[in-house]
Structure 1
Amino acid sequence: MNTMMTALVLENFADEQFSQVQYPVPTAGAGQVLVRIHASGVNPIDYKIRLGEAPYAMPELPAVLGTDMAGVTVAVGDGVERFNVGDEVYGLTGGVRGLQGSLAQYAAVDVDLLALKPRNLSMREAAAIPLTLLTAWEGLVDNAKVKPGQNVLVQGGAGGVGHMVVQLAKAMGANVWATGSTAKQSLIAQLGATPLDYTALSAQEIVNNCTSGQGFDIVYDTVGGQVLQDSLGMTRHYGHITSCAAFGEHNLAVSSLRCATLSGVFVLMPMLSGEARAHHGEILEAATRLIEEGKIHPVVDIRHFNLDQALDAHHAVQDGSASIKVVIDIE
């Protein structure tokens, strides 16, 4: 195996460039595996970190960015029993604080953050899943405890997290509606939800038309801002609003009067704090089963980017031109 690897390094926030450098291949420590990275998924948090707009997740520079990854284990550290050399794995594994990201040929990764890659997905497809699926699961399953037959509204059902929430809710037996722009209605329908054009319907019209005015059991907000504020009034009594975009100030009166529960999702917490990392691995193991059963699939942008084009991949996410998930080919 090579002793040196190619990696992209961010040296200054707001730089419109990465520096391509040669680093020593890391060693798998206790509880880690060394992964040869085949693909790196790009999420909005990646370009926000690059621009210095994510103070809660900033790495110390110079740093290798890249949050999602898929690859093959090439070495196993002490105490590791879950994985063997040659296993294909995927996970949300780095690119924040002191954790090396996936814009490199190799990474030493905490095994708790990994799961075996679904056998029916390519490396590119697998790298598109972890952050969005984990965010969907934490909000819908861990927080809201979705049950078969419940009515679920997904705000932003054609986005990265939203398209996973839609599919996961369907896989869990819920009845699913999802908001999106006029152009996204057919995609939302293909994902399995009843599409709702937010440009044509008010929040109250959606509640009246879909639930006879009673409200949804669960509203999963992926948009934030005014959409989250509107969502607070769209649940039934004792319903649940969960959001991965609750970063603003909101008046909770309307949800309080419904005795509704409001919960937030911050999917980076296990990486940043070291807490509950094993749960991320467990979620991805469950996701692998659902994916292999054909109940969940990622929507991956058709464009191919390599390490030399990583900045272009970031721009594709940043400018909104991406077809949900952008992936950078490493291998």
Structure 2
Amino acid sequence: MKAIVMTAVGDSGVLALQEIAEPQISHATDIKVRLYAAGVNPVDTKIRRNGLLYPNALLPAVLGFDGAGEVVAVGPNADQFKVGDKVWFCHGGLGREQGNYAEYTVLDQRWACRMPADLSYVEAAAAPLVLITAFGALFARGGLQAGQTVLVQAGAGGVGHVAVQLAKLAGARVITTVSSAEKAEFVKSLGADEAIIYSQTDVADAVSQLTSQQGADLVFDTIGGDTFKASIPLTAYYGRLVTLLEPKAVDLGEARVRNLLLGFELMLTPMLRDLPAARDRYVAILKQCAKFIDAGKLSIHVSHVLPLAQASTAHDLLEAGHTTGKVVLSI
């Protein structure tokens, strides 16, 4: 089968279209899926630049956590799906199991879900990692409640644009930061109450005015670095600040004075540390989000669709920054 193979650690040029062996069912509860689309996420580019995440994992490897496709075979004890079912999932891509930049994959039925009826394969492949990440950050880590105010940093991005929608579905007031007027209109179309264009407005002043000098009950930082540092004084006293990235050399004195709860959201942990119960919760999140999608309450925005052979271009787009929504490979 055709697959994009990471041949070495480096820039996007290390991704090569190759013919590799087609995966086969090896466990009784496995399903084999013909992939029609694979989501591309920033973590894919980090793995390509820095190396595979599993200890002792060897190159070459197939990247890609998010996939969507059609079940073409099932193991003898696989009773949750039948041939022809459309599924979406977040599985593989860390260097141990095969990722989804490929024509076929095999995974245990436990980690797959039926696709929302109203999504295309491209939209479905764009969604799992960002939905699981946003849901975990807002609710499991952030404890977001109806009536509270949340600030989503970079609300037009892959994680940000679904976080805006999930927060609104929970009854929260949503403030978000964006880089342009076009993106401000985009996030408002998703339900954001306020959009701060950070290139034109001082974010701290804007948040202070919008929250009557109180700050946001929850700040969700999807960017890290200086944005995490700047998010501390934007968070209300006794509030919560959740980030996707590891803070480096940050003075937490103000966070301590504010009595903030600091949280980290890394949705890869159940795969990295083999935590089946945690992965079960992730599957439950996808099932809940599928209900929202089928009810017309949640949408997935895909800004770029590229053929599988252009995976390196997809990585370049993400690394250039400022993409709206998601980038997907069509297979």
1:95–1:101 contact (8 Å) kept in structure 2 = yes
Mapping for residues 1-331 of structure 1, pairs under 5 Å:
5-14=1-10, 16=13, 17-52=15-50, 59-183=57-181, 184-193=183-192, 194-275=194-275, 276-301=278-303, 303-320=304-321, 322-330=323-331
What letter is aligned with 1:162? G
SS where residue 224 of structure 1 aligns? coil
Aligned counterparts of 1:318 and 1:121: Cα–Cα separation in 2 = 27
After superposition, the C-alpha distances for 1:214-246 in whole angstroms (9 at most, x for unaligned) are 121111111111111121122222211111123
SS where residue 298 of structure 2 aligns? coil
1:71–1:123 contact (8 Å) kept in structure 2 = yes
1:135–1:267 contact (8 Å) kept in structure 2 = yes
SS where residue 102 of structure 1 aligns? coil
Aligned counterparts of 1:97 and 1:253: Cα–Cα separation in 2 = 38
2:65–2:92 contact (8 Å) kept in structure 1 = yes
What letter is aligned with 2:264? G
SS where residue 48 of structure 1 aligns? helix
After superposition, the C-alpha distances for 1:249-284 in whole angstroms (9 at most, x for unaligned) are 322221221221110011111122221111111111
Aligned counterparts of 2:150 and 2:258: Cα–Cα separation in 1 = 16
Cα deviation for residue 97 of structure 1 reads 2.6
Distance of aligned partners of 1:56 and 1:223 in 2 relative to their CA distance in 1, 3 Å threshold: farther
SS where residue 18 of structure 1 aligns? strand
Aligned counterparts of 1:237 and 1:154: Cα–Cα separation in 2 = 17
Cα deviation for residue 328 of structure 1 reads 0.7
Aligned counterparts of 1:203 and 1:306: Cα–Cα separation in 2 = 38
For structure 1, the 5+ residue unaligned runs are none
Aligned counterparts of 2:56 and 2:188: Cα–Cα separation in 1 = 37
1:114–1:280 contact (8 Å) kept in structure 2 = no
2:52–2:95 contact (8 Å) kept in structure 1 = no
Percent sequence identity is 38
Higher mean displacement: 100-109 or 15-24: 15-24
Higher mean displacement: 103-112 or 146-155: 103-112
2:238–2:259 contact (8 Å) kept in structure 1 = yes
What letter is aligned with 1:12? A
Aligned counterparts of 2:318 and 2:147: Cα–Cα separation in 1 = 34
**RMSD of Structure 2 on Structure 1 (CA):** 2.0
SS where residue 295 of structure 1 aligns? coil
What letter is aligned with 2:240? H
SS where residue 134 of structure 1 aligns? helix
Q: How many residues are treated as equivalent by the alignment?
A: 325
Distance of aligned partners of 1:164 and 1:31 in 2 relative to their CA distance in 1, 3 Å threshold: same
1:117–1:288 contact (8 Å) kept in structure 2 = yes
Aligned counterparts of 2:176 and 2:114: Cα–Cα separation in 1 = 30
What letter is aligned with 1:277? R
What letter is aligned with 1:188? V
Distance of aligned partners of 1:22 and 1:204 in 2 relative to their CA distance in 1, 3 Å threshold: closer
Aligned counterparts of 1:325 and 1:297: Cα–Cα separation in 2 = 12
Aligned counterparts of 2:154 and 2:54: Cα–Cα separation in 1 = 24
Aligned counterparts of 2:256 and 2:109: Cα–Cα separation in 1 = 41
**What TM-score does the superposition give when structure 1 sets the normalisation length?**
0.92
Cα deviation for residue 322 of structure 1 reads 3.9
What letter is aligned with 1:159? G
Aligned counterparts of 1:105 and 1:57: Cα–Cα separation in 2 = 26
Cα deviation for residue 201 of structure 1 reads 3.3
Aligned counterparts of 2:330 and 2:56: Cα–Cα separation in 1 = 24
What letter is aligned with 1:273? R
**What TM-score does the superposition give when structure 2 sets the normalisation length?**
0.92
Cα deviation for residue 63 of structure 1 reads 0.8
SS where residue 179 of structure 1 aligns? strand
What letter is aligned with 1:111? Q
